[in-house]
């Protein structure tokens, strides 16, 4: 994939802690990730295809595919 989303590892870990603590109640994992990092602002949405709808392991696979953690 030519395009990757660069995120600080600590920001992703903070998101995971918030999600685990229930701060995104009613949201799928992919939906919460998409909203938390305001991914709607990205011009190229193609790499994110399916993320918003994904949950659990499926969401994690997409996140790992599109993100580079620094």
| pTM as predicted | 0.92
pLDDT of residue 1: 43
Displacement of CA 9 from its chain's centroid (Å): 12
Rounded Cα distance between 33 and 56, Å, is 11
- Over residues 19-51, the pLDDT tens digits come to 999 999 999 999 999 999 999 999 999 999 999
Write 54-57 long-range contacts (CB < 8 A, 24+). 54/28, 54/29, 54/30, 55/28, 55/29, 55/30, 55/31, 56/29
Rounded CA-CA distance 70/55 in Å is 24
């Amino acid at each position: 994939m030519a395009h990757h989303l660069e995120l600080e590892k600590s920001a992703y870990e903070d998101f995971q802690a918030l999600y685990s603590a229930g701060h995104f109640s009613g949201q799928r994992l992919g939906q919460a990730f998409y909203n938390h990092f305001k991914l709607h602002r990205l011009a190229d949405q193609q790499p994110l295809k399916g993320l918003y709808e994904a949950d659990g392991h499926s969401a994690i696979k997409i996140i790992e595919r599109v993100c580079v953690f620094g």
